[in-house]
Amino acid sequence: AVTALAEQRVLQFGNAPPICLVHGSPLDVREPVLPVTGALVAEVAHVTGLPSTRTLPRPLGDVMADVQASVLVCGHTHLQWRACLDGRLAVCPGSVGVPTNGSGHADYALLTLVDGRWQAELRSVPYDRERLLRDYHDSGLHDDGGPLARAFMADALSGQCLSIMFFWHAHRLARQAGLKPDSWLPDHVWFDTERSFDRARAERDYLPAYQRLARALDRAGHTCD
């Protein structure tokens, strides 16, 4: 069961440095971790929802202070990056199912032990969008999964993580209907969201903001070179 899963794990391979695996941060599974912060991240978060929060991430050094292992592997943000700090490695492999890169590629990372130290290589591979669309329909997920399933499908087909903007739109509609958006939302709100969500406009806002953040994340990776 999901509730039985550990919030973090430390992997040890022989005499290699230990690797800490978490979804968010060592303190909170929903805390985003990034190697950059400040005004750029705040602007991107305001526009796109990335990195999965409207609050600024803590400095990476503060996050790494909570980690005993030499390597931190995290997720949650769906943003692919790597950074090195004081001889320690932090990496987010990105996302396979809901990538953010806009290229229609599934992201992952390869960790290799070199001279007793872990090195991370960020990788992306294309996936078959036609088969993905066909499987959505053949499995019944497209029709039976409802608006959220179709929103995630659109993200996977485009490679753009617009689901958070979709959620924001649902929350706005819920508030207009006198509902609390932090609670369970009835189906009619999600169907109204699907009908009124302007995905084309969201894409126009998303891409420039994401690309600016991606360039900053790429620069952070040079700390490992």
Structural domain boundaries of the chain?
2-126+207-224, 129-206
Per-residue model confidence as pLDDT tens for the chain (225 residues): 677 788 899 999 999 999 999 999 999 988 999 999 888 888 888 777 766 555 678 999 999 999 999 999 999 988 999 999 999 999 999 998 888 877 778 999 999 999 999 999 999 999 999 999 999 999 999 999 999 999 999 999 988 889 889 999 999 999 999 998 777 899 999 999 999 999 999 998 888 888 888 899 999 988 887
Confidence at residue 74, expressed as pLDDT on a 0 to 100 scale: 96
Query: May I ask the CATH architecture of the domain 2-126+207-224?
Result: 4-Layer Sandwich (3.60)
**Chain position carrying tokens 């032990």:** 113
Which pLDDT does position 200 carry in this prediction? 93
pLDDT at 1: 62
Global confidence as pTM: 0.88
The pLDDT assigned to 68 comes to: 93
- Please state the φ and ψ torsions of residue 190, each to the nearest 5 degrees: -65, -40
* One-letter amino acid for residue 202 of the chain: A
Question: Do the Cβ atoms of 215 and 40 come closer than 8 Å?
Answer: no
Q: If you search the block for the tokens 């705040």, which residue do you land on?
A: 42
Q: Is 112 exposed, middle or buried (0-12, 13-18, 19+ CB in 10 A)?
A: exposed
CA distances from 112 to 31, 46, 70, 103, 117 (A): 27, 36, 14, 26, 8
